[in-house]
């Protein structure tokens, strides 16, 4: 990027950028997944009724969308769950953050996924989906039925998820290349009530295949909502 382009981007960014502070960073072992607690003083979270996506500045003129979860509207805090196993600007940014760092974003907006009252919530995705599914759980009624599967590439991460998160999803361990097959096989073993809404996120080709698979099922009459994060 030449100097004129950089100056133009800086001028465009300046009125849009909002700042936040890193309160804490927790790296899973192995360190290819991070929980990042943020304070976002300019963000009103009190009216969030759907899953949100936050467009973070991760490098010069480079942005990535992440899902705020575990938010507290009173303190204006939330947590980002970021998979850094794949090399890229977002992964490098997330793994470099430390307590008291300042982060910048250009806005938070609805991802158009929200719980449907009296429906079973079916969640399917890989580890990049964790924040999205936790946000759905936070928005859902306390007695909402939640089911599904989430795939991790690390057995240690699968164990950490199972031990520390009260999210009733089956945790699978598979390589990136095998995750579509594992999620598909899990899906084939399940039966769903008619009032089921599916939320499929994460790897785009896998999400597309799982949507096709669900559409072919006679016991899946509810909506199928897809949000691909990476390819």
Answer whether 3-110 and 120-230 agree in fold. no
Contact 225, 124 (CB under 8 A): no
**What pTM did the predictor assign?**
0.94
Per-residue pLDDT of the chain (231 residues; tens, 9 = 90+): 566 566 566 667 778 899 999 999 999 999 999 999 999 999 999 999 999 999 999 999 899 999 999 999 999 999 999 999 999 999 999 999 999 999 999 999 999 999 999 999 999 999 999 999 999 999 999 999 999 999 999 999 999 999 999 999 999 999 999 999 999 999 999 999 989 999 999 999 999 999 999 999 988 888 999 999 999
Contact 125, 81 (CB under 8 A): no
Domain 120-230 has CATH 3.40.50.80: yes
What strands, in cross-sheet order, belong to the sheet with 196-203? Answer: 170-173, 146-152, 120-126, 196-203, 224-230
Q: Residue 2: its pLDDT value, please?
A: 63
Phi, psi of 163 (to 5 degrees): -80, -35
Q: Is 52 left (phi over 0), alpha (psi -120 to 50) or beta?
A: beta
Which fold is adopted by the domain 3-110?
Answer: Elongation Factor Tu (Ef-tu); domain 3 (2.40.30)
Pairing of strands 102-110, 77-83: unpaired
Q: Residue 3: its pLDDT value, please?
A: 60
Q: Residue 191: its pLDDT value, please?
A: 93
The structural domains of the chain, with segments of one domain joined by +, span: 3-110, 120-230
């Amino acid at each position: 990027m030449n100097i004129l382009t950089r100056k133009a981007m800086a001028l465009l960014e300046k009125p849009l950028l909002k700042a936040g502070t890193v309160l804490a960073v927790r790296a899973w072992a192995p360190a290819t997944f991070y929980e990042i607690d943020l304070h976002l003083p300019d963000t009103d979270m009190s009216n969030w009724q759907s899953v949100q996506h936050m467009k973070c500045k991760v490098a010069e003129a480079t942005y990535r969308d992440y899902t705020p979860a575990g938010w507290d509207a009173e303190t204006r805090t939330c947590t980002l769950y970021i998979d850094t196993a794949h090399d890229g600007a977002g992964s490098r940014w997330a793994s470099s953050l430390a307590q008291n760092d300042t982060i910048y974003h250009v806005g938070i907006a609805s991802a158009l996924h929200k719980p449907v009252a009296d429906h079973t919530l079916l969640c399917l995705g890989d580890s990049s989906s964790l924040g999205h599914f936790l946000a759905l759980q936070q928005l859902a009624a306390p007695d909402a039925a939640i089911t599904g599967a989430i795939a991790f590439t690390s057995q240690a991460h699968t164990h950490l998820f199972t031990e520390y998160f009260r999210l009733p999803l089956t945790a699978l361990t598979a390589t990136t290349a095998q995750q579509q097959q594992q999620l598909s096989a899990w899906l084939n073993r399940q039966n769903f009530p008619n009032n089921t809404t599916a939320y499929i996120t994460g790897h785009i080709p896998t999400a597309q295949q799982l949507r096709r698979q669900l559409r072919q099922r006679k016991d899946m009459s509810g909506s199928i909502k897809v949000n691909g994060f990476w390819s």
